[in-house]
Amino acid sequence: MSTKFDAVLASPPTGRAVPLILDHTAYGSARILHGAPVPWSEPAECQSYFGQAQGLLHPDLTLVDVEAVYAQHLAHRPDLIEAMGARSRTGFALKTLLADRDLAASVVRLVEVLGSSSRLPLALQIPAPLRWLALAQAPAGNPEVSMIEPDHGESASMYVADWLRRFETCPITLLILDGRRADHDGLDGLVDEDLATYSPVINAVDHYRWGLALRTDVALELHGDETGGAVVPPSFWVDGSPPGAKVLLAEIPGDAEPELVLARLATLG
């Protein structure tokens, strides 16, 4: 069955040989917003930011980082954090977080605004189920990841799949499950994500005809084509070469010099 992402793979919007997904949050905060965070919780301001970033960097997809959106909203929701910590059972914090209708509606609104205002297809990046399970436990007062086992991924995947139903009518082309470990203290002891074990999420994505990928610290696994994607290594921003793949995901360092960034992006076509 074809997906909405297949059209992007066949014909990247920028005309590159392969589509490029750019994670420009750190770079955009430092260079475009002059040290201010990306305004994920403010759709109109976020729309303006993406207009500047995409006009400068020319990615092939608009990457919306749901983890960052939730983090900004949670900073102003002590009531929700308290509710997430009401029980110590593994998974309770995530279930409570994803069930909050107001917060979910705010994310849907942001996706609708960015999807309707951008010329580019939209990639929704969410924490992979086990990662989201661990991240939700921390603010709720239960940060011990050693208690999280692979079997917990099944229930977490069901919570995530149910949450995704809110986005059924949104203009999403690709869902990226963020399964990184090295970017957060405390995640190094968490078991690895396994895309094949998340059948509830896979079934939801297949129903919506979105593409699906798993992002790790060093790889980008495409559902149905494990070798199809690749993460551009940090060395690329100095003088390295990009890996060969059907789609590339690159994170621009926050301290990268603008002239160098543009020069390196130019080598990608």
pLDDT in tens, the chain (269 residues): 789 999 999 999 999 999 999 999 999 999 999 999 999 999 999 999 999 999 999 999 999 999 999 999 999 999 999 999 999 889 999 999 999 999 999 999 999 999 999 889 999 999 999 999 999 998 877 767 778 888 899 999 999 999 999 999 999 999 999 999 999 888 888 999 999 999 999 999 999 999 999 999 999 999 988 778 999 999 999 988 889 999 999 999 999 999 999 999 999 87
Q: Map residue 33 onto helix, strand or coil.
A: coil
DSSP states of 96-160:
HHHH-HHHHHHHHHHHHHHHHH-SS-EEEEEE-HHHHHHHHHTTTT---GGG--TTHHHHHHHHH
Report which residue type is found at 69. Answer: V
CATH architecture of 4-266: Alpha-Beta Barrel (3.20)
Nearest to 118 by CA among 32, 47, 39: 47
Q: Tokens 């059972």 sit at which residue? A: 89
How far is the C-alpha of 149 from the C-alpha of 145, rounded, in Å?
A: 9
CA dihedral 229, 213, 139, 158 (to 10 degrees): -160
Model-level pTM?
0.96
Strands of the chain (E only): list them: 20-23, 62-65, 122-127, 172-178, 211-215, 220-222, 229-231, 247-251
How far is the C-alpha of 109 from the C-alpha of 114, rounded, in Å?
A: 9
Rg (CA), the chain: 18
Are 212 and 1 in contact by the 8 Å Cβ rule? The answer is: no
Domain ranges of the chain: 4-266
Q: Cα-flanking dihedrals φ and ψ of residue 212, to 5°?
A: -140, 135
The partner residues of 65 in beta bridges, in order of sequence, read: 125
Q: Per the structure block, which two tokens stand in for 109? A: 């609104």
The pLDDT value recorded for residue 117 is 92
The pLDDT value recorded for residue 143 is 67
- Which one-letter DSSP state was computed for residue 30? I
| Parallel, antiparallel or unpaired: strands 211-215 and 220-222 | antiparallel
The pLDDT value recorded for residue 215 is 97
Q: Characterise 209 by phi-psi region: left (phi > 0), alpha (psi -120 to 50), beta (else).
A: left
The pLDDT value recorded for residue 239 is 85
Residues 6 or more apart whose CB falls under 8 angstroms from that of 242 comprise 230, 232, 236, 248, 250, 267, 268
